[in-house]
Amino acid sequence: MTTPRKNSNISTGAAILILIFALLFFVLAIRFFYIQATGKADGEALAEIAQKQHTRTSKIEGQRGTIYDRNGEAIAQDTGAYTVVAILKESQSEDKDHPQHVVDPEKTAEKLAPLLKMDESKIDSMLTRGIKRGAFQVELGPGGRDIDNVLKQKIEKLNLPGITFLRDSKRFYPNGVFASSILGYAQKDDTGKIVGKMGIEKVFDKQLSEEDGYVKYEAAKNGIKLPDPKESIVAPKNGDSVTLTIDEKIQTFLEDAMTAAAKEYKPEELMATVVNPKTGEILAMSNRPSFDPNIRDITSYRNPFVENSYELGSTMKIFTLAAAIDAGVYNGEDRYQSGSYKVTKNSVPINDHNGGVGWGAITFNEGIQRSSNVAVAILANEKLGTDRLYKYLDKFGFMDKTGIDLPNEASSKLVTKYPRDRVTTAFGQASAFTPIQEIQAATAIANDGKMMKPYVIKQVVDETNKKTIKKTKPTVVGQPISKKAANETLDILETVVSSDDGTGKPYAIEGYDVAGKTGTAQIPGPNGGYLHGHGKNFISFMGFAPAKDPKLLVYVAVKNPTLTPQETGTAPLTAVFNPVMKNSLQYLGVEPEKTDEDGKKTEEKKVDSEITLKSYVNESVDSAVKDLKQKGLVPVVIGKGDTVESQSPTSDTIVTGQRVFIKTNGKATMPDLTGFSHRDVIRFSEFVNVRPSALENGYVVSQSIKAGDPLKAGTYLKVELETPKEFSSTLNKLKETEKSDSDSKKDDKQLD
């Protein structure tokens, strides 16, 4: 048997293969040792690549800065919100009896549409299109974005398959229509970041804006966090807080009055502000039309106090009068012929407001009381001279912007071409100025001649380190007149309200001396000339109280109100001025004047409006309640224990009449919230950690958790609020019911 002969070709091929494998092994070995030594492959660090593959980053959201009123009440803040999401993928439903995806788009749309205030067909279309294109889920916007917890619960009760929610945040304005032209609003941009779009929110957007933080950690391939990972945490930076000069209570007085007046008289514009003339602080400011920043039901909006200029009417007579007194050319007992006056031989006559009839030969003091155009024209043209008048107007700040810390301030519009225009400017026609310029000028009348710059920003604080970044102090911007001239002007303006012939008589307030000046200006028409007709005017009132030493300056103006033939332009103004001035003075502790047995006024009394609150923690509840009541505060006891466990506010400076919440030891119980303002409800909810329903302006008349019931953290609290007028009516009905029940019991006893 012969042995097979080896094929030389096979041997050669095997040798080549061995050589190739040996070469590859050698190359891989060199590559391995290189990577081992350098830790790099293709110039990239392998450790870094591995870290990227196994490192997860989780965002820690920062919060936009809160805007507070002067007493630390939040009036704009970030709050929790939800976005409605529809799951469309059928694969999400493992159990057919309990589907986790949208089964019936048409029925789902039908149920959601009324709650989301969206068109049913639009929701149906969104769902159907999403299913057709194989989308996993769709967000139901815009109605499904930024919804609150109350609406979320209503949707959950529908038990709609596939409808779920994403946790989110939104900008929340707890007071609704509240200083809206000052606050403005903020909303999410395309990236989901909340950005200021108007007012303080826009002007201070950079300071209010937050910076998100993050946490980095190592995770397995499936994303599960590894034990003992290397974590890197960068804390978020919350936005700075901004505190305004606005007082929440005074602003509420103003908003309520403005809403009622706007509803009744339907004006083209209505505006009012409350100012501390000693400092220039804006305590309240409101306009109609207005808007709710939570809803943002506007396309554009202007703050007329700052952004519009007007022919202001006879309130400008205040400054002509003050200039004449300061210049030493005013004698109130001098007489002049009222009715009509010509500046030059050929000029159109200046007439008094009663058709140029006048009141015969009267004193200048009476002329001011009756708001005589002729009296002021003579003062401007003959006594002062228009050159000197204009120098005084410049001193009063009418030629320049005030520089108030609000956006888009307009400039004056001076008309000086003809002598008659220069004279009519003295009583508020021809030239146009902004209301904020007039308010600034009026502070000099109420403040011994010192003119104060108006402002709304009290301070800006970096919430990370509690460092004050900006603090505004009262600023004197001039002294256009002497103290003596300012006080004499106030004395005369007081007679405008107190005199039987005074045009300001409707603005008298029982218990308080009011000084002030009315104004009625014609409105320029679109095609030249002025508008004509009943109510087709710009009507205003500038009032100071108490007259001898004004604590408040209140300015109200209305444009084109709807009036009956029997109503005058004062009707919508008194509906705002009188209750706002009276309520604000009482809130600030300025007591009404009293008379003695002979009918003479006693000296004005002033109670302290600010109280330094101490801590009552660990003290007995009875002693804390007694002490709070003695200080003019309203204690609200939460619980049935005998020792104070916590309180809100803590030790701080607060104002009289404010509620102080006291939580006792033991189980917390629900207090009676009847009469609480919407702001009080929010403060209470934050203190005891319950979740309040969406709140409107007004006062509580009912609550979902009964007084005395146990109170648990996280519980939902629903309250019903009524406007002050409705609430007053409700209280009267309750009192009548109580009286009826009491009388009934008396009758029962008599029958027995």
Domain-located, residue 29: no
pLDDT of residue 708: 86
User: Do 180 and 219 lie in a common domain?
Assistant: yes
pLDDT digit string, tens, across residues 358-367: 999 999 999 9
Q: Which of 154, 230, 251 is nearest to 456 (CA)?
A: 251
C-alpha distances out from residue 454 to 276, 278, 324, 445, 487, Å = 9, 10, 25, 14, 21
Query: Per the structure block, which two tokens stand in for 391?
Result: 């120098």
Task: Give, as one character, the DSSP assignment of residue 381.
Answer: I
Domain-located, residue 271: yes
| In the predicted structure, residue 41 carries a pLDDT above the cut 70 | no
Among 587, 618, 636, which residue terminates a domain?
587
Model confidence band, residue 132 (pLDDT cutoffs 50, 70, 90): confident
pLDDT digit string, tens, across residues 143-159: 887 787 788 888 988 98
| Average pLDDT rounded to a whole number, residues 219-239 | 62
| In the predicted structure, residue 752 carries a pLDDT above the cut 80 | no
Q: How would you classify the pairing of strands 552-559 and 537-545?
A: antiparallel
Q: How would you classify the pairing of strands 610-613 and 634-638?
A: unpaired
Domain-located, residue 751: no
Query: Per the structure block, which two tokens stand in for 63?
Result: 């919060």
Alpha-carbon span 369 to 493, nearest angstrom? 8
Q: How much of the chain, in percent, has pLDDT values that exceed 90?
A: 43
Alpha-carbon span 539 to 556, nearest angstrom? 8
Q: How would you classify the pairing of strands 716-717 and 691-692?
A: parallel
User: Do 527 and 388 lie in a common domain?
Assistant: yes
Lowest pLDDT segment from 166-180, 335-349, 471-485, 732-746: 732-746
User: Do 393 and 323 lie in a common domain?
Assistant: yes
Domain-located, residue 321: yes
Peptide bond into 289 cis (omega under 30): yes
| Average pLDDT rounded to a whole number, residues 697-710 | 81
Alpha-carbon span 544 to 555, nearest angstrom? 9
Write the CATH number for 467: 3.40.710.10
Interior/surface letters 202-232, b for 16+ CB within 10 angstroms, e for the rest: ebbbebbbbeebeeebbeeeeeeeeeeeeee
| Average pLDDT rounded to a whole number, residues 345-370 | 94
Alpha-carbon span 248 to 396, nearest angstrom? 30
pLDDT of residue 68: 94
User: Do 312 and 221 lie in a common domain?
Assistant: no
Cβ pair 558, 572 in contact under 8 A: yes
pLDDT digit string, tens, across residues 580-594: 999 999 999 888 876
| In the predicted structure, residue 259 carries a pLDDT above the cut 70 | yes
Domain-located, residue 40: no
Highest mean pLDDT among 17-31, 76-90, 720-734: 76-90
pLDDT of residue 699: 77
Domain-located, residue 528: yes
Q: How would you classify the pairing of strands 40-41 and 44-45?
A: antiparallel
Alpha-carbon span 668 to 714, nearest angstrom? 13
Alpha-carbon span 372 to 366, nearest angstrom? 8
| In the predicted structure, residue 190 carries a pLDDT above the cut 80 | no
pLDDT of residue 696: 56
Domain-located, residue 103: yes
pLDDT of residue 246: 96
pLDDT of residue 216: 63
C-alpha distances out from residue 87 to 91, 135, 168, Å = 10, 9, 18
Place of tokens 């042995």: 3
Q: How would you classify the pairing of strands 241-244 and 67-68?
A: parallel
Give every CB contact of residue 429 below 8 A, 6+ residues apart in sequence.
311, 313, 521, 522
User: Do 488 and 542 lie in a common domain?
Assistant: yes
pLDDT of residue 207: 93
Model confidence band, residue 89 (pLDDT cutoffs 50, 70, 90): confident
Lowest pLDDT segment from 287-296, 530-539, 653-662: 530-539
| Partners of residue 122 on adjacent β-strands | none
User: Do 67 and 203 lie in a common domain?
Assistant: yes
| Average pLDDT rounded to a whole number, residues 554-575 | 86
Cβ pair 479, 449 in contact under 8 A: yes
| In the predicted structure, residue 683 carries a pLDDT above the cut 60 | yes
Active-site position among 181, 209, 314, 693: 314
Cβ pair 184, 202 in contact under 8 A: yes
pLDDT of residue 746: 40
What's the structural domain count of the chain?
Answer: 3
pLDDT of residue 744: 45
- φ/ψ of residue 463, rounded to 5: -75, -15
Torsion of CA 361, 366, 369, 373, to 10 degrees: 40
Q: Which of 551, 555, 628, 620 is nearest to 591 (CA)?
A: 551
Cβ pair 127, 86 in contact under 8 A: yes
pLDDT of residue 171: 87
The reply to whether 314 belongs to the active site is yes
User: Do 162 and 237 lie in a common domain?
Assistant: yes
pLDDT of residue 58: 60
pLDDT of residue 214: 62
pLDDT of residue 474: 96
Write the CATH number for 709: 3.30.10.20
pLDDT of residue 300: 66
Mean of the per-residue pLDDT values of the chain: 83
Total-model pTM: 0.70
Domain-located, residue 42: no
Q: Most distant CA pair in the chain: distance in Å?
A: 160
Model confidence band, residue 599 (pLDDT cutoffs 50, 70, 90): very low
User: Do 80 and 147 lie in a common domain?
Assistant: yes
| Average pLDDT rounded to a whole number, residues 20-45 | 65
Higher pLDDT residue, 305 or 79? 305
Q: Angle at CA 40, nearest 5°, toward 36 and 45? A: 125
Higher pLDDT residue, 533 or 108? 108
Alpha-carbon span 475 to 481, nearest angstrom? 17
Cβ pair 145, 82 in contact under 8 A: no
Residue 690 structural domain? 610-734
3-state secondary structure of 442: helix
Give every CB contact of residue 683 below 8 A, 6+ residues apart in sequence.
73, 648, 659, 661
User: Do 725 and 640 lie in a common domain?
Assistant: yes
Task: Give, as one character, the DSSP assignment of residue 426.
Answer: G
| Average pLDDT rounded to a whole number, residues 183-207 | 88
User: Do 83 and 220 lie in a common domain?
Assistant: yes
Model confidence band, residue 388 (pLDDT cutoffs 50, 70, 90): very high
Lowest pLDDT segment from 207-221, 482-496, 615-629, 707-721: 207-221
pLDDT of residue 526: 67
What long-range pairs does 48-56 form, CB within 8 A, spacing at least 24? 51/218, 53/221, 54/218, 54/219, 54/220, 54/221, 54/226, 55/216, 55/217, 55/218, 55/219, 56/216, 56/217, 56/218, 56/219, 56/223, 56/225
pLDDT of residue 364: 96
| In the predicted structure, residue 609 carries a pLDDT above the cut 80 | no
Write the CATH number for 208: 3.90.1310.10
Alpha-carbon span 109 to 86, nearest angstrom? 11
Alpha-carbon span 510 to 701, nearest angstrom? 30
User: Do 521 and 647 lie in a common domain?
Assistant: no
Query: Per the structure block, which two tokens stand in for 382?
Result: 């003959």
Model confidence band, residue 452 (pLDDT cutoffs 50, 70, 90): very high
Peptide bond into 649 cis (omega under 30): yes
| In the predicted structure, residue 491 carries a pLDDT above the cut 80 | yes
Question: What's the number of CA atoms in the CB half-sphere (13 Å) around residue 238?
Answer: 15
3-state secondary structure of 78: strand
User: Do 76 and 216 lie in a common domain?
Assistant: yes
pLDDT of residue 417: 86
